[in-house]
Structures are given as structure tokens and as C-alpha cells.
């Protein structure tokens, strides 16, 4: 079996682990630099190349597409779909997961619990925001990652200046109710229709954002069956087969916060001992062209 691992850099920890897991299982596993891929289409044919090599020789593609190439990545995945090449991430899944409001729309459509979310594209009166979503509230840029672009506004008098500044910077702004929590959320790692591992992420002492990249610590978490089902439902609603689903636990039940389409797994492997890259490869091989 030939497996193609699409990523920006073959030295990324996750990329190396997936390639190693593929080779360990006896598969010819190649790194393909996302930005080097060339797409072609005419009235009779579709193809995608890396140098002179066509993707048609690959049995399955495992995409790990970073933020800097989301737009190209969506076109690339769409192209592979048209060519009939199996992948572990769909174009729709990538496009949805990379937009926090589109994700909220899908999660709501699936009947999952989400924070109250407003999207604004132009100047809005601070009074209206405060009336709808009283502080503390969360402001997010639509396509941030690793906690960057997520802000908490606690004082009523700070709402106006911050929103005005973001509008001035031509950003769409997602205004979200703050779900009270002690600097903790839960990351569920979903592969197909299963949660393969989960951890509570505890924010570093100087933070309220619990991202591992910001110093958050992962601790093994055993989800209830219902929580596991919600994570799988969230991943499916976003159209992401290999997903990092973030949720905040509350008295009312879990709130779905985010679905990540290229989830890291270093922190999760440390917290859970699960062989994530091995499971990713096995899932990919299960989808491959026969």
C-alpha cells in the first residue's frame, strides 16, 4: 500500500510519527509537501502531481494541512475527491473546521449544545453587544488556532474599544458567551466513529485558555458514553473524520467549542498512552483503494 502524508514540513513531530507508523506497518509511506502539489484539470481529465509523480499512484492520502494553506488545501482535497483518491479529510470538513462560525452552524444543525454565538462584520454598538451577551464574553477571530485570536472581555467598558479595533482591522468577529470553567476543557480525539483518547486540559497558571501550546497540561479523562457520542456527532457534523473535539463541561452538560481538522497529538499521547499515529494509519488503510 502507498500512503501519502500531506504536510508542510516533514520535520513536524506529528508528521514524522505518522510516516514512521505507516512504514512500521509495512506501507510505502511518502511525505508530500502540501505547497509543492500541482493541480490540473481540463475537459477530460483531473490530475494532481508532486513533481512528475501523479497522486493516482497513491492508495490513500492523510492530509495534515496547516492554517497557512487552508484555501489551497480545500481545492486540493476537492481535487482528490474528484479523482476518486481516498483521503482521511474531506474538503468540506477542512473548510468547516477552519471557520469557527461555520463550525457552530454545523454543530447547532446536529442539535449539539454550543455557546451563544454572534457573528458581526461591521461596526456594532457596544450597548447592543452587552445587552445580548453580558460580559464576561469571548471574542474570537474566525480562523485562529492554538488559542491565538481568542480573547476574554470582562469589563463592560472594554467591549466597545476592542470590537471597534477588530472591525478597523477588517476582521469578522465571533462574539460568544463565556462558559464558566476553572481554566479547563476536554479534548476528545475522534477517529471515524470512535473516541480513541481524551484528556482534560488544565490551563497554565497565568492563562484561562487551556491550549497545550499555551502551556496547558493534559490529564487522562474517561468520557461517559454520552460524552463520547457527542464528540463523534460533533466530528461528523463538521465532516471531519480525524478530529480533535474541544468541549467545556458545565452543569447543563458539555458545550461544544471547536472541531480541529489537523489535531496535534503529542500532549494527548503523553496523557493517555494511546498510539494515535498507529490508529490514524490503520484508519487510512481501511479507506484505501482496494
Ligand X SMILES: Nc1ncnc2c1ncn2[C@@H]1O[C@H](COP(=O)(O)OP(=O)(O)O)[C@@H](O)[C@H]1O
Smallest gap from residue 151 Cβ to Mg ion (A) = 14
Nearer to ligand X, 37 or 261 (CB): 261
Is the Cβ of residue 55 or residue 189 nearer to Mg ion in the bound state? 189
Query: Which of ligand X, Mg ion, none binds 58 (CB below 5-8 Å, type-dependent)?
Result: none
Closest CA to 7 of 273, 270, 266, 264: 264
Q: How far is the CB of 258 from Mg ion (least distance, A)?
A: 4
Site of interaction with ligand X (CB under 6 A)? 100, 115, 138, 140, 144-148, 150, 176, 178-179, 181, 185, 209-211, 246, 248, 257-258
Per the CB < 8 A criterion, the answer to whether 134 and 127 are in contact is no
Closest separation in Å from C-beta 212 to ligand X: 9
Compare residues 30 and 185 and give the one whose CB is closer to Mg ion: 185
Give, as ranges, the residues between 231 and 290 that touch Mg ion (CB under 5 A). Answer: 246, 258
Which of ligand X, Mg ion, none does residue 223 bind (CB under 5 to 8 Å by kind)? none
Count of residues in the chain: 290
Closer residue to ligand X in complex, CB, 150/188: 150
Dihedral of alpha carbons 67, 69, 72, 76, sign: negative
Q: C-beta of 42: minimal distance to Mg ion in Å?
A: 40
Residue 241 CB, shortest distance to Mg ion, in Å, is: 18
* Interacting residues toward Mg ion by CB under 5 A: 246, 258
Amino acid at each position: 500500500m502507498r500512503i501519502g502524508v500531506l504536510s508542510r514540513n516533514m520535520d513536524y513531530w506529528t508528521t514524522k510519527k505518522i510516516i514512521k507508523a505507516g512504514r512500521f506497518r509495512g506501507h510505502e509511506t511518502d511525505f508530500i509537501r502540501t505547497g509543492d502539489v500541482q493541480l490540473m484539470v481540463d475537459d477530460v481529465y483531473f490530475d494532481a502531481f508532486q513533481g512528475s509523480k501523479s497522486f493516482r499512484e497513491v492508495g490513500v492520502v492523510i492530509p495534515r494541512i496547516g492554517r497557512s494553506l487552508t484555501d489551497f488545501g480545500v481545492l486540493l482535497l476537492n481535487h482528490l475527491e474528484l479523482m476518486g483518491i481516498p483521503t482521511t479529510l474531506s474538503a468540506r470538513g477542512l473548510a468547516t473546521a477552519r471557520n469557527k462560525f461555520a463550525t457552530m452552524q454545523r454543530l447547532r444543525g446536529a442539535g449539539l449544545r454550543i455557546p451563544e454565538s454572534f457573528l458581526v462584520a461591521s461596526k456594532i454598538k457596544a450597548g447592543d453587544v452587552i445587552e445580548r451577551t453580558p460580559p464576561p464574553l469571548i471574542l474570537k477571530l474566525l480562523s485562529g488556532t492554538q488559542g491565538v485570536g481568542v480573547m476574554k472581555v470582562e469589563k463592560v467598558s472594554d467591549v466597545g474599544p476592542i470590537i471597534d479595533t477588530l472591525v478597523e482591522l477588517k476582521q469578522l468577529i465571533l462574539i460568544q458567551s463565556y462558559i464558566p470553567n476553572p481554566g479547563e476543557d476536554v479534548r476528545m480525539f475522534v477517529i471515524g466513529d470512535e473516541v480513541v483518547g481524551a484528556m482534560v486540559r488544565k490551563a497554565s497558571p497565568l492563562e484561562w485558555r487551556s491550549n497545550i501550546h499555551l502551556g496547558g497540561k493534559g490529564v487522562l479523562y474517561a468520557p461517559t458514553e454520552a460524552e463520547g457520542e457527542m464528540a463523534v456527532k460533533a466530528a461528523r457534523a463538521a465532516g471531519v473524520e480525524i478530529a480533535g473535539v474541544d468541549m467545556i463541561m458545565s452543569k447543563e452538560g458539555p458545550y461544544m467549542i471547536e472541531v480541529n481538522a489537523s489535531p496535534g497529538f503529542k500532549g494527548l499521547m503523553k496523557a493517555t498512552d494511546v498510539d494515535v499515529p498507529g490508529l490514524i494509519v490503520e484508519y487510512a488503510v481501511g479507506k484505501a483503494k482496494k
